[in-house]
């Protein structure tokens, strides 16, 4: 048996046989942003008559954009770190729901602007 050649793979990308894969943090952020936006959207339907509805809608837009961005970054990281991390389903579901709520919120803001609220 000869001496082992050093690996060219950086240490953070090498599989660790002692540990199982961990969930990507950005995938978690994207997924829980989508859950938070869903809760905010539900409170928006309850608060529609109050003046805070436009503030909630603006927050939904910001959180949805942030969640979609984190989901895309998580997908890129998960492609690179095949061995050490998992969470592609969380990232993709976060992206999908964040884009849905981003589109709905943008459309409602556009309609509110047309009616002169």
Identify the pLDDT of residue 59. Answer: 86
Per-residue pLDDT tens over the stretch 50-72: 667 778 888 889 999 999 999 99
Residue 7 DSSP code:
P
- Strand (E) or helix (H) holding 85: strand 85-86
Per-residue pLDDT tens over the stretch 34-45: 999 999 888 777
110 vs 75 pLDDT, higher one? 75
Identify the pLDDT of residue 42. Answer: 82
Tokens of residue 81, six digits: 């770190």
Domains of the chain, by residue range, sit at: 22-115
What is the arithmetic mean of pLDDT over 78-85?
79
pTM for the complete prediction?
A: 0.75
Sign of CA dihedral 35, 96, 70, 16: positive
């Amino acid at each position: 048996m000869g001496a082992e050649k050093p690996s060219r793979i950086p240490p953070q990308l090498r599989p660790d046989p002692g540990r199982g894969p961990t969930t990507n943090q950005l995938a978690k952020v994207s997924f829980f942003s989508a859950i938070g936006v869903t809760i905010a959207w539900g409170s928006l339907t309850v608060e529609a008559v109050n003046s805070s509805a436009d503030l909630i809608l603006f927050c939904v837009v910001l959180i949805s954009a942030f969640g979609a961005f984190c989901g895309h970054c998580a997908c890129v990281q998960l492609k690179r770190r095949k061995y050490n991390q998992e969470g592609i389903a969380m990232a993709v579901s976060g992206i999908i729901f964040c884009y849905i709520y981003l589109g709905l919120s943008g459309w409602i803001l556009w309609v509110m602007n047309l009616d002169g609220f």
